């Protein structure tokens, strides 16, 4: 078992994980500003974006880029600097490092090398949205960004249909409409949902309702800004029955209906999952 105190090695190298504001610059903590001033180097997701933050707080520390496209190249370089005694702060464009942002690979590498890792508390979009959502705040399940393709989303969401916790997702504006439609398809139109937009910014807003309502509303309105989607958990999760026996198509439809889908939505989902025509399954299910 490895035990390393982040504060025992003050004269050696150290990796600081520094959260940055998700919108409102006033949410930057005093400790975060002091850390960014005191370290030898800042590993930033986008140096141009972070430079604006540094300019605002009059921080002159040198930056180096560290993002998802240069991780393999940068980690050995950053480790060498840490092992040489440098203190490095790692930050993403907004919020917590490693949470739907770069960082986790560097943390793992630093831990393996015996380098102290010091996390600073700060802004996080998912938790900020959760506490104002009106949905059950704990337990919660954080997922982040879903895959972009429809079937990949369906596959991921189907695994969460019976989760009783509030689920937290991130989404970009140009994909919001399709994601809400897919969620309604899998979770059902009646599942409670909260869509939070532009958190901590001037046009922050919360849209609360049912998935079907939210899907229809955003289908007719332009989505702008960054979004957090919070989906209420399933209050009556169904147990998986007859796991050893494959279910017939009609049994699969019945199970999907029990999970909260409408009959038509369940037929559409099961037809797509099994590669059969929706009209054929519709007739089979209704004995037409």
pLDDT in single tens digits along all 288 residues of the chain: 565 554 444 558 999 999 999 999 999 999 999 999 999 999 999 999 999 999 999 999 999 999 988 888 899 999 999 999 999 999 999 999 998 888 899 999 999 999 999 999 999 999 999 999 999 999 999 999 999 888 899 999 999 999 999 999 999 999 999 999 999 999 999 999 999 999 999 999 999 999 999 999 999 988 898 999 999 999 888 744 444 445 788 888 888 787 677 888 888 888 888 888 888 888 888 887
- DSSP H helices, 159-234, are 176-187, 211-219
Q: What is the reported pLDDT for 242? A: 42
Residue whose tokens read 């899907």: 215
CA 171, CA 176: separation in Å to the nearest integer?
6
How many beta carbons lie within 10 A of that of residue 268, not counting itself?
A: 18
CA 237, CA 167: separation in Å to the nearest integer?
14
E-only strand ranges, 100-149: 117-119, 140-145
E-only strand ranges, 69-172: 87-91, 117-119, 140-145, 166-171
How many beta carbons lie within 10 A of that of residue 54, not counting itself?
A: 19
The whole-model pTM stands at 0.79
Q: What is the reported pLDDT for 275? A: 80
Q: What is the reported pLDDT for 186? A: 92
Distances in whole angstroms, Cα of residue 176 to Cα of each of 138, 171, 207? 25, 6, 13
H/E run at residue 207: strand 205-210
Instruction: Please write the tens of the pLDDT for every residue from 253-263.
Output: 888 787 677 88
Instruction: Please write the tens of the pLDDT for every residue from 175-199.
Output: 999 999 999 999 999 999 999 999 9
Q: What is the reported pLDDT for 5? A: 52
Q: What is the reported pLDDT for 9? A: 45
Distances in whole angstroms, Cα of residue 227 to Cα of each of 14, 39, 168? 34, 32, 11
Q: What is the reported pLDDT for 244? A: 45
54: phi then psi, degrees, rounded to nearest 5: -65, -40
269 burial type by CB count under 10 A (0-12 exposed, 13-18 middle, 19+ buried): buried
């Amino acid at each position: 078992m490895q035990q390393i105190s982040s504060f025992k090695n003050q004269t050696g190298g150290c990796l600081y994980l520094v959260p940055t504001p998700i919108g409102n610059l006033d949410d930057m903590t005093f400790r975060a500003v002091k850390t960014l001033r005191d370290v030898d180097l800042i590993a930033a997701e986008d140096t141009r974006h972070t430079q604006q933050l540094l300019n605002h707080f009059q921080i002159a520390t040198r930056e180096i880029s560290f993002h998802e496209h240069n991780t393999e190249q940068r980690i050995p370089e950053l480790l060498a600097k840490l092992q040489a005694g440098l203190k490095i702060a790692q930050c993403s464009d907004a919020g917590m490092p490693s949470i739907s942002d770069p960082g986790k690979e560097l943390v793992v590498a630093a831990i393996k090398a015996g380098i102290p890792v010091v996390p600073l508390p700060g802004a996080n979009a998912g938790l900020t949205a959760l506490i104002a959502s009106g949905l059950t705040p704990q337990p919660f399940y954080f997922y982040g960004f879903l895959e972009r393709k429809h079937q990949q989303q369906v596959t991921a969401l189907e695994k969460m249909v019976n989760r009783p916790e509030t689920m937290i997702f991130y989404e970009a504006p140009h994909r919001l409409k399709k994601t809400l439609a897919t969620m309604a398809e899998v979770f059902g139109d009646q599942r409670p949902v909260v869509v939070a937009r532009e958190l901590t910014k001037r046009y922050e807003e919360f849209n609360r309702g049912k998935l079907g309502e939210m899907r229809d509303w955003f289908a007719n309105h332009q989505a702008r800004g960054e979004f957090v989607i919070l989906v209420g958990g399933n209050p009556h999760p169904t147990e998986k029955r007859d796991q050893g026996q494959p279910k017939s198509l009609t049994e699969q439809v019945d199970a999907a209906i029990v999970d909260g889908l409408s009959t038509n939505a369940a037929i559409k989902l099961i037809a797509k999952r099994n590669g059969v025509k929706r009209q054929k399954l519709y007739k089979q299910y209704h004995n037409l």
